[in-house]
Amino acid sequence: MIRIHNLTKAYPKARDGRGSPVTAVDRVCLTIDRGEVFALLGPNGAGKTTLVKILSTLIVPTCGMATVNGYDILTQSSRVRASIGFSPGGERSFYFRLTGRQNLEFFGALQGLRPPLLHRRISEVLDRLGLGEEADKRFMKYSSGMRRKLGIARALLTDPPVLLLDEPTASVDPASARHIREHIRELKAQGRTILLTTHNMDEAERISDRIGILNKGRLIAVDTPANLRGVLHQCRLRLVVRNWGKDPARFIGGLRSISGVTAVYEGNPSLEVIMTQKEFVTGEVVRLIVEHGVEVESITTCEPSLEDIFLTLTGGETSRV
Amino acid sequence: MYKAYVFVKRGFVSMLSYRMAFVLTLLGTFVGAAQFYFMAKFLGEGHEFPLLAPYGGNLMGYLIIGTTFMSFVGVSLNSFQGAIRGEQQMGTLEFLLMSDTPLHQILIYSALWNFLYACLSTSVIFLVFVLGMDINVNLGAALFILLLSVVCMSGFGLMSAGIIMVTKQGDPITWAFGTLSGLLSGAMFPIELLPPLLRTIAAVLPPTHALIALRKTIMVHAGLGEVRSQVLALLALTALTLPIGLVVFRWGFNRARTDGSLAEY
Ligand SMILES: Nc1ncnc2c1ncn2[C@@H]1O[C@H](COP(=O)(O)OP(=O)(O)OP(=O)(O)O)[C@@H](O)[C@H]1O
Ligand SMILES: [Mg+2]
């Protein structure tokens, strides 16, 4: 449904107009199947928006090629546009002085919808996203979350087979985010192909069939959420400490030097150890606890989150969120 | 056609939400024209204006048409770049382009609203001054000339929009064209008064021809046949400026798409 081959975008100059070219997307290859929900995960500036905009034909790539719904983004761009619904990452993409409904009417008409179908579709998508009551308020009175939902509503107006959603749940409250995720699942069930971007590993893990991790323009891993967990054999050990004993610094230093430990996050009273060899490391940790006279209230292990995986893959170059 | 309708509707809804601004614009043009009304009264007392003979010697009508037409020059020059900058600031430009409505249609529809807005805000002057005066309007011919000259000057508007998409700031073309038109096209005085060199420049400015034709159709009920040479001049200039404008605009648009700066302003 979406095929990307060796796609590269080097902006001629950095945002401020000075400096050297910026390679925002770097030789990305990827195939997304029909009916798949694919999450593009990456920190700020990873190139997610750039990639999505290239697929939307809004940005011309430097080299490489891509097809969407079987159409080439360079030579058949109008067919590509007719196949996709795009929801932008930013908040400003509507007319402030018009109501939500008037905005949708305008954009729907430009996409070729005519009344009465246009008005029916508008009511449908507004209800679907729970915006029915706000529909006749001016856009400038909308909250961030409502703006985001209206953006998704607009992407759905023409009932397209492919959806490109740039950060669909950013700045949306948890309940609405859940609502939007449920909606994305429904859209998938209808056989739609969905590419979404997010910084939220938990979200990617929950709604996507596959996840692609993008860092500095490079796609560094593509797999199912289950495999991304499995491949790395990571595990997180969480200690809640009651008494730090004689020499906390040496205790933590000791934890760090255990082979198989990839990171130790200090907190008070809890401490997290990220590791790759569960049995061996847990034994060593217990040994150190006894040796340093540390009193521990609880020890729990948990499955690694994508966050851990992400930190490992990117070599911890990004700070912890 | 439905697309044109939604553009006009959008403009109308926004205008109503800025009711105050619209009333002030209306008032502004009105006061501006009143100024020329009194000026013409003052200057015209006991004087004859042989150079205005082709227009029935009516100084007041001459000046008011001159100044009102300048607002249409402004519309033609600024409506494309204004539309694009407006959409950029709203963050909606990318969506218009995504909507698969060809770019030229988007431009035409946005400009259509600007044109209507200008008509709306000058219509009051037209009614009060022009209909109240001793003149004989050929409305059909006058509207045709107005439309033709707006299309003709739009070539410059397109160039300016193309340049602005890349530079994101003012461009010299609009400035030069606007300033030269104000001075040389005979908005406030007959171009016969200009030295020969300047008169040659005036002859290639579309507003020069538009003004002659407009004044004749509005003040002495000239038909299109009587302003044939002006119509031909406008058509010829259109054939020249419009394609150049389109090429420059395409260039700017593609540059912005490569820079990834379509939505920036
Ligand atoms: N128009 C542009 N001109 C120059 N550089 C740009 C442009 N747009 C983006 N960049 C740069 O390209 C890189 C990728 O940006 P992009 O917006 O694609 O990242 P992102 O993954 O969407 O980030 P975020 O999570 O913050 O939305 C960044 O370094 C950014 O500064
Ligand atoms: Mg982004």
- For residue range A140-179, what is the model confidence (pLDDT) as tens digits? 999 888 898 999 999 999 999 999 999 998 878 888 888 8
Task: Name residue, tokens 């590269």.
Answer: A8
Q: Which of helix, strand or coil describes residue B57?
A: coil
d(CA B126, CA B140): 14
User: Can you count the helices (H) and strands (E) in chain B?
Assistant: 11, 0
In the prediction, which pLDDT does A320 show?
A: 38
Cis peptide before A116 (omega within 30 of 0): yes
Would you call A98 and B13 a contact, using CB atoms and an 8 Å cutoff? yes
Contact (Cβ atoms closer than 8 angstroms) between residue A50 and residue B260? yes
Choose the closest CB to B6 out of A12, A90, A106. Answer: A106
In the prediction, which pLDDT does A67 show?
A: 96
Burial of residue A136, with CB atoms counted within 10 A of its CB: 0-12 exposed, 13-18 middle, 19 or more buried: exposed
Contact (Cβ atoms closer than 8 angstroms) between residue A196 and residue A38? yes
Would you call A92 and B91 a contact, using CB atoms and an 8 Å cutoff? yes
In the prediction, which pLDDT does A18 show?
A: 66
The percentage of residues in chain A with a pLDDT greater than 90, rounded to a whole number, is 43
Work out the pLDDT band at A230, boundaries 50, 70, 90.
Answer: low
**pLDDT tens by residue, B216-251:** 998 888 889 999 999 999 999 999 999 999 999 989
d(CA B259, CA A60): 8
Residues near ion ligand 2 (CB < 5 Å) are A 49, 89
**pLDDT tens by residue, B178-196:** 889 989 999 889 999 999 9
In the prediction, which pLDDT does A233 show?
A: 60
d(CA B265, CA B262): 8
Q: Mean of the per-residue pLDDT values for chain A?
A: 87
Contact (Cβ atoms closer than 8 angstroms) between residue B265 and residue B244? no
In the prediction, which pLDDT does B80 show?
A: 85
Work out the pLDDT band at A310, boundaries 50, 70, 90.
Answer: low
In the prediction, which pLDDT does A216 show?
A: 86
Would you call A109 and B2 a contact, using CB atoms and an 8 Å cutoff? yes
Is there an atom of ligand 1 within 6 Å of A89 CB? yes
Ligand 1: which atom is nearest the Cα of residue A214?
A: 21
**Amino acid, res. B114:** N
Task: Name residue, tokens 């034709």.
Answer: B213
**pLDDT tens by residue, B52-101:** 888 888 888 888 888 888 888 888 888 888 888 888 888 888 888 888 78
The bound ligand whose nearest atom lies closest to the alpha carbon of A42 is 1
Q: Mean of the per-residue pLDDT values for chain B?
A: 86
Chain A CB contacts of B260 under 8 Å are 9, 11, 24, 50, 53, 59
DSSP A76: S
How far from A262 is each of A232, A233, A278, B187, CA to CA, in Å? Answer: 11, 12, 12, 78
Q: Which residues pair with A66 in a beta bridge?
A: A4
Contact (Cβ atoms closer than 8 angstroms) between residue B88 and residue B265? yes
d(CA B164, CA A172): 35
Task: Considering only residues A271 and B169, tell me which one the structure prediction assigns the higher pLDDT.
Answer: A271
In the prediction, which pLDDT does B184 show?
A: 92
Work out the pLDDT band at A227, boundaries 50, 70, 90.
Answer: confident
Work out the pLDDT band at A311, boundaries 50, 70, 90.
Answer: low
In the prediction, which pLDDT does A319 show?
A: 38
Choose the closest CB to B262 out of A58, A98, A154. Answer: A58
The beta strand positions in A14-148, using DSSP E, are 22-32, 37-41, 63-68, 71-72, 84-87
Q: What is the pTM of this model?
A: 0.79
The residue among B247, B84, B254 whose CA lies nearest residue A57 is: B254
In the prediction, which pLDDT does A317 show?
A: 45
Query: What percent of chain B is helix, strand and coil (3-state, nearest 5)?
Result: 80, 0, 20
**pLDDT tens by residue, A41-86:** 988 888 999 999 999 998 899 999 999 999 999 999 889 999 999 9
What number is the ipTM of this complex? 0.79
Residues 6+ apart with CB under 8 A from A314: A43, A213, A215, A220
pLDDT beyond 60 at A302:
yes
Q: Which of helix, strand or coil describes residue A239?
A: strand
How far from A1 is each of A67, A83, A184, B137, CA to CA, in Å? Answer: 8, 10, 17, 62
Atom 24 of ligand 1, residue of closest alpha carbon: A44
Q: Which of helix, strand or coil describes residue B51?
A: helix
Would you call B259 and A11 a contact, using CB atoms and an 8 Å cutoff? yes
Q: Which two tokens mark A76?
A: 């058949």
pLDDT beyond 50 at A198:
yes
